Chain A
């Protein structure tokens, strides 16, 4: 099987000037597949519809942690309510300032092993799948790769 066989089609995306607050809202209401609502990451497209970046829950956490916290070990000196306070402070930040810009993508025809290799090497949760024109047509999730393994091991003919 190839990436395009297991990917989920892209239904929703963010634009670079979406604010953090809107982003959180959009991720809450985005459809994961036919039945489920709410996603943990979304792709960001520029004006031309090309992939500009990706925003995950971790990017949002990074965005609300004050920059000085990364310079020293200050985790022991935080206070109750600090997280919520900082989140409200940066609610207006735009996606382009919080997204991960260097996105690892795959070609739609890459075999699943190629995807699995990338997931493990780069500790990924999702990989955008590009078509021949370089547009995002879907996303391969870790769990979908896992289901492919489940299928291979538990179904006799591997199909």
Chain B
């Protein structure tokens, strides 16, 4: 079967609509990359143009799964943000951070390793930005107390958060988007990605040991400062903390079983958010809801509509044919291309718009290769599955490459700068790029061994 035959059966024409949609898409992405205009504003304007110019009908943008806003992603993000916003004032995260520093017995390198592991684990369940925002201030405090340079700690945390975030469905927005589009559940990610991330994390810690193992020292009296901190003082609201942990536990159990009971992850998270709002006894939910990161949410909404437009006119399908032409329909070659291209692309551009584009691209590609398959038979085709994992590994781990590769990196650099410690683009890259290449290399071996050699 040739591509031409398939194209002929599902024709698309490069007419004015095609080029208008393509222009909106390219200009919007260029503006997002240039950061000349805030990305949320670009996304909203681009999306509205897709509607005003009737490339997409409003109905398609709001209600059609193939072209429109992925409400599963939107509600999962909003709900998790609500849960975290309610949990933050309890002091739980300060407690975890101080406790971690004390577990390190004031030894700088031990603290670095423990912080990296804690960041990775928290990032697997919370979004990376939240995790880094919660740990970085304590890191700066501890570094001040020990009179050591905070920069290596902060970079290690940013890198660890991007690694840890890859481990689960809810860890990183690309995974949330992939899961929703490919109809994969929480346990699919646990089975397929978590083992890879554990291996990668061990390798990452080994790299930290090589670089910093012998470099970091603190005088005994400075260690004493850390040991004298009482983490219990961090807990401001023990009752609310208990309620939060109860709900968070329920939500995690819900995630584990959501596939089995045919619930979407967003349903589980929304239930958790509602329950915790109720338990918090708040009379004024305005504050909690206002703290949801609406710019991020609207960035997603706009992006989904822009992508919907170019999916509808066939641009994404045209791109998928190009990818297959490069790899001559060889699935392993396609897989490797996707993983490494994703990594380098995500190192320099936001992985959210990138994955938003790649998701329909992979689906269009699958439709070309298996035109007779539909629904989950198509999405979960054994030959397609490794591509989803490679997309996730490439896009998430690629974020480590540069200071602008992931939001967690941007936050860390910003916070360091405000504390009077500048992390230059090149300095971050000197740590980030080797770590990115190492981790993607491990992912390559993992994917190759598991899905193409052992086939498990």
Contact = CB atoms under 8 A, between A and B. Distances in A.
Interface of A: 66-69, 71-74, 76-79, 82, 86
Given A66-B144, A68-B415, A79-B145, A74 B137 contact: yes
Contact of B98 (A69, A71, A77): A77
A66 B421 CA distance: 12
11 contacts: A66-B141, A71-B133, A72-B94, A72-B134, A72-B138, A73-B91, A73-B94, A73-B234, A76-B230, A77-B138, A77-B234
Contacts of A73: 91, 94, 234, 236
Contacts of B91: 73
A68 B137 contact: yes
B234 A71 contact: no
A74 B94 contact: yes
Given A67-B418, A72-B134, A77 B236 contact: no
Contacts of A78: 141
B435 interface: no
Nearest to B417: A67
Contact of B234 (A66, A67, A76): A76
A69 B418 CA distance: 11
A72 B142 CA distance: 13
Interface residues of B, number: 23
B418 A74 contact: no
Given A67-B418, A68-B136, A79 B225 contact: yes
A68 B141 contact: yes
A86 B234 CA distance: 22
Q: What are the 9 closest A-B residue pairs judged by CB atoms, nearest first?
A: A68-B137, A76-B233, A68-B140, A67-B418, A71-B137, A79-B225, A72-B137, A77-B229, A67-B419
Which of B98, B138, B144 has the most C-beta atoms of chain A within 10 angstroms of its own C-beta? B144
Contacts of B140: 66, 68
Contacts of A67: 415, 418-419
A16 to B, nearest CB: 19
A127 B285 CA distance: 39
Contacts of A72: 93-94, 134, 137-138
Nearest to A80: B225
Interface in B99-148: 133-134, 136-138, 140-141, 144-145
A71 B138 CA distance: 9
B284 interface: no
B419 A68 contact: yes
Contacts of A68: 136-137, 140-141, 415, 418-419
A14 B134 CA distance: 38
Contacts of B134: 72
A77 B133 CA distance: 18
B228 interface: yes
A86 B144 CA distance: 9
B419 A66 contact: yes
Given A77-B138, A79-B225, 14 more contacts: A67-B415, A67-B419, A68-B141, A68-B418, A68-B419, A69-B141, A71-B136, A72-B94, A73-B91, A73-B234, A76-B233, A77-B229, A77-B233, A86-B144
